[in-house]
Structure formats: C-alpha cells, structure tokens
A and B are shown apart, each in its own frame.
Chain A
Amino acid sequence: MMLFFQQWSGELLKLFARRRTYIGFGVFIALELLIFWLVQVKGMGPIQQAILGSGENVDHYFSALTVGMIVVSLSVFFLGALYLTLVAGDIVAKEGEDGHLRLLLARPVSRFRVLLLKYLTCTGYAFFLIQFLAWTAFLLGIILRGWGGGFCATVPELEILAFYDWGHGVQKYATAMAGLGVAMTSISSLAFFFSCFPIKPAAATITALSYVLVDFILRTSGFMESYQHLLITRHMGFWGRLLAETPDWPLLLRGLAVVLATNVSLFALGYAVFESRDLKS
C-alpha cells in the first residue's frame, strides 16, 4: 500500500506542478466572480420568484448557500465538462505523444498500475475541482449575502425545490456537492478511456466532449424519451436528488450505481486498449 501511495505521489506531483492546472482553477474563480457580479447587478429573478411563489421570505432564502448552488451549477455547466475532458484527455495520450510513457514503462511497474494511478489522478482531480468550486462559491456567497439565512435548493431539471434552515442547508449543500463531484468523474472517465487509444490528446478531449454534448442534447431534446436510461448525463443527475427533503433513494442509488459502473467499465476498456498497444514510435 505504501508503494502505491509513493507511486501516486509522483503522478500528483506531475499534475500539480503544471501551470495549466492552476490556470484552470483561476479561470473557474473568474467565472464564479462573473456570475456573482451578474447576480448582484441583475439579481436572480426566476429563483427569487420561485421563492416568492412558494410563500417564503426571499431575503431569508436568497442566502450564501442558495447563491453558491446557482453559481456552482452554472460554472460546471459552462466549463466543467470542457476542463475535465482537457485534463483527462491528456493524461495518457499526452504522455504517449511526448514519449514519457517509454521512460515510465521502462520501470518495474505494470501497465495496469500505471493506468490505475493515472485514472485515480484524473477522477480524483475531478472530485477535488468540484469541491473547490463548491466551497469558493460558498465563500463568495458569504461575502455577498453574509452568514446565515435559509437554503432554497433548486434543481429545475429534476424539479426539486426545497427549503432548509442554515444548519440543515449546509449539510445538504455539502452532500450534494460531494454527489456532483462523483457524478463528474464519469466525464473524466470517458476522456480517460479515449486517451488510452494511440491518438492525439486533443482528439481524446474533443471526442469525449462531443460524446457528452450529444448525450446532453439528446437527453434534453426529448427525442430519446424512451431511451433515457442509455444516456450517461441522465444518470449523472443523481446528485440533484440529494437536495430533496426526502430523497428518492432507489432512483438515487440506481443513478450512482450506473455512474460507478460506467466508470469501472471505461477504465477496464481503456486498460484493454492500452494493454494491447505496442509502445514504440
């Protein structure tokens, strides 16, 4: 186990020593600030109306948590998939293209181990990035709206609108963000899978991103109404159910199980592709 962590530390060193990793964090912070500015200047009419429509106090429920949730949802929607596919699409393909794999695999380590380290790094990164977004949004929300108030949880796609007090709200927010972090690992897994092929890193990123976009469009267009269960973005939405007062656990767990099974399958398929490759320029 110590050996595994020692090996993983090398992989993490590579990821976090890259300037691009921090540029990504910076871009997300900039996007969050932009959304906050829009919230401050323009207000969030539909959310405020939804709170009013439910007969609740807007000032109380339009809190740091509510604003934080809106900002995270929009940030992930606009940039989440793009950035995660960029990182995961690079993780194997870029190493192959640059010739690093030839030095890495000259070591007494199996291809499975090398891939597992890389997979855990890119999915761990996806989870970490979402938590970073969630808690910086929450912090900015506190700066904007102050500490305390209620939490109006809204996930329009899942038709969830729930009201919580501050303590319960923080708990719900933390749980949902952890769920969102797990859900987004599927996007990283998809890009990782394509990255295992002998293709350019950009090709792996674009292919994964295209898949996610097409999947999302099919899901929202209603065209695939009877085939919704085949769309990964539908199952990824399980995290939203965590925001409900009484979560629909069977549906929620089914979504989580599909997400995890998809991740494992994509890793296994990626490994099969990688294992069959001859690594020679």
Chain B
Amino acid sequence: MALLEVKHLTKRWPTGRVALDDVSFEVKEGEILGLLGHNGAGKSTIMGITLGMVRPDQGEVRIGGRSVQKDRAGALRQIGAIYEAASFYDYLTGWQNLRVFCSLSGWWDETEVKRVVQLVNLTRAIHQKASTYSHGMRQRLALAQALLPEPRLLLLDEPTDGLDPEGIREFRELILHLRKHHGLTIMLNSHLLVEVEQMCDRCVIIKDGHKVFEGAVPSQEKTRRMFQLETTDLGLAREVMERAGARMDKHGIVEVPLSMEPHELVAALVRGGVPVTSWQPHRRTLEELYMGLSSKS
C-alpha cells in the first residue's frame, strides 16, 4: 500500500523556469525510496511540495490518503522531516530546541524524547547549547526532531551532506535501523549515488524536472542475470551469443535469457571456440544506470 503518493506535480518558478513537469511516483509502506538527481533537478521542490512549503501549479501529494494541499495539518501529522540544511536555535540547548519544535505539534513526552535522544546517540550533549554542536551532531539532532512524535514517514533531504565518512556510515546505519526495527517508511533525497545504492530499495531519478526512471535500485535487483565475459575474441563471442539467444554489449556484459542457465551459455561459448578467459557475475551499479540516463538525454 502506498503511504506517499506524488501525483502529476508541475511547478514553474516565477522566472519561468520549469522546476517539475508532471512528476508522479509512490512510496510504499515500509520501503526506503531514494530521490536522485543533479543539483537543481527538482528533488527539493518535490520535498517542499510534500511538506506544503512550496505550492504546486498542478497535481497533489497525498500522505496516508490525506492531501497535503487540502489538509496540510492532517497529512503532516504522519511525517517527520529534515528539509534542506537543518538549522537550530544556537542559543538554546539541544533539549530546548526539541521542545520548541515539539511544541508546534502540541506534544511533549520526556520519556519518549529521552528514548529518541538516546537512539540518535546525543544523550551526553543534549543539554549543551546547539552552538557547540558539530555538523554530525546537528544532523543527529535534526533526525531526533524528525522522529518526534512517532512519524510513519520520514523525509530526509540530503541528510549526509557535509558529514565525514564516519558520520555518513553512522547515519546510514541509523536509518537502516529505523526501517528494520521501527518499520519506518523513508523517502531520501540525495545526489550521492552510493548513499542511495546502500540504503534504498527503489529510486526515482529526476532530471531537469522530469522523472526519467522509477524502479528498483540496481544493486537490489534480483531477477536480472548479468555476467561479465572476458575473451580475446569479442566478435566471435557475440556471434555465438546471438545464436544462443543471449545479448552482450560492447564491454562484454552479457544478459542471460531466462530460458537458459548461465552454465549452458558458457558451454555454448566453449563449444563455439570462444577463448573464454573469465566469466563472472556482474552487478549493474546505480552509477551506470544514472550515467546511462544522463547520456541518453
């Protein structure tokens, strides 16, 4: 069941530039969806429309069946978000910052707040002023405020931007933990392909305001059978492949049809006199997909 439905979003800025052009997709309950695209592609605009901070010219966003454009409060009650760079009141402590943000939801439960603070590993610093926080601590505080009180859907806009490698890893593990142990549905907006590849089940790629791809993250694909062939005679190999009903690209990446087993294809190659020097499973990377889509357009 779709928890977040993005329907035919179109947005044109006052300058005339098209930010989004008829973009639609869904985020199913319990999944992590990555929203990918270059800077200025329209990812943050989708996030802004989802939070009711940007008004679409056409289309709507529904969260748990409630339209953000018609019932913003009702829809937003189900989500927590980090939208663009998280900014806190530096003169307040982390705890006071959480209090300010939670007060707008009309909610405050010290036990629950302490639990979330512990979850994001900020217990020791929570009573320090936010001005003393490192970038990583700010991101964790941002995540804590997004998790209060108990959202069903988490929207994360470039959450690891500016973090060091340890911080990125820590944040990634935290996000995966939230999905696994708290059943959270997450929409992650990023231009870091590795981040999306490691965290997300599916991704949507946006390019210049258009959706150019929606589907499983390649590393998560289970149905496709791709192999890397290494040989000194690619021409002969291609001929044998075609006869066997398989396809191979110019880099020697072979897609084995479902009608045959991979070892049968290798046997056919050897029988056909192809000098096979190496045959190993090939996993298509998100980068290949992304760059392929970029070069197409």
Bound-state Cα–Cα, A17 to B131, Å: 14
> Which residues of B (4-54) have their CB < 8 Å from a CB of A?
44-45, 48, 51-54
B92 contacts across to A, CB distance below 8 A: 13-14, 17
**In the assembled complex, B55 has its CB within 8 A of some CB on chain A:** yes
> A280 — nearest CB in chain B belongs to which residue?
B48
Contact in complex: A19, B101 (CB < 8 Å): no
| CB contact between B103 and one of A6, A18, A99 (< 8 Å): that residue | A6
Do A18 and B91 have beta carbons less than 8 Å apart? yes
Q: Which residues on B sit within 8 Å (CB–CB) of A279?
A: 48, 53-54
Asked if B235 lies at the interface with its beta carbon under 8 angstroms from chain A, I say: no
Name B96's contact: one of A2, A6, A17, A278 (CB within 8 Å): A17
Counting chain B residues whose Cβ lies within 8 A of the other chain, the interface size class is 35 or more
B120 to A: closest C-beta gap in Å: 15
B100 near A14 with CB under 8 A, answer yes
Contact partner of B72 (CB less than 8 A), chosen from A104, A108, A278, is A108
**In the docked arrangement, what's the CA distance between A11 and B101, Å?**
10
B85 an interface residue at 8 Å Cβ cutoff? yes
Question: Which of A110, A278, A279, A281 has the most C-beta atoms of chain B within 10 angstroms of its own C-beta?
Answer: A278
Q: Which B residues, 82 to 128, have Cβ-Cβ distances below 8 Å to chain A?
A: 82-89, 91-92, 96, 99-106, 108
Does A143 belong to the interface (CB within 8 Å)? no
State how many angstroms separate the Cβ of A90 from the closest Cβ of chain B: 12
If over half of B's interface residues share one DSSP class (helix, strand or loop), that class is named, otherwise mixed; here it is mixed
> Is B105 touching A107 in the complex (CB atoms < 8 A)?
yes
A100–B89 touching, CB < 8 Å: yes
Against A, the Cβ 8 Å flags (1 = close, 0 = not) of B183-223 are: 00000000000000000000000000000000000000000
By size class, the interface of chain A is: 20 to 34
Looking at B73-81, B253-261, B264-272, B280-288, the stretch in contact with chain A turns out to be B73-81
> Which one, A17, A107, A281, contacts B104 given CB within 8 A?
A107
Contact B105 A105 (CB under 8 A): no
Give A248-281 interface residues, CB cut-off 8 Å to B.
278-281
Q: Is the CB of A7 within 8 A of B104?
A: yes
Which residues of the other chain, A, contact B155 by a CB distance below 8 angstroms? 106
Known pairs A14-B100, A114-B104; A278 contacts B76 (CB<8 A): no
Query: Is B101 a contact partner of A109 (Cβ separation < 8 A)?
Result: no
Report if A23 contacts B (CB, 8 A).
no
Interface membership of chain A positions 55-85, coded 1 if the CB is closer than 8 angstroms to chain B and 0 otherwise: 0000000000000000000000000000000
Q: Does A41 contact B (CB under 8 A)?
A: no
- The answer, yes or no, to whether A102 is at the interface (CB within 8 Å) is yes
CA distance A106 to B78 in the complex (A): 11
Say yes or no: is B145 at the interface (Cβ < 8 Å to chain A).
Answer: yes
List residues of B whose CB falls within 8 A of some A CB. 44-45, 48, 51-55, 72-77, 79-89, 91-92, 96, 99-106, 108, 142, 145-146, 155
10 closest cross-chain pairs (CB), A and B: A10-B103, A99-B87, A279-B53, A108-B76, A107-B104, A106-B81, A3-B106, A108-B77, A10-B100, A108-B73
28 A-B pairs with C-beta separation under 8 A? A6-B103, A7-B103, A10-B104, A13-B99, A14-B100, A17-B89, A17-B91, A17-B92, A18-B91, A99-B84, A100-B89, A102-B87, A103-B142, A105-B52, A106-B51, A106-B53, A106-B81, A107-B101, A107-B105, A108-B75, A108-B76, A108-B77, A109-B73, A109-B105, A114-B104, A278-B53, A280-B53, A281-B85
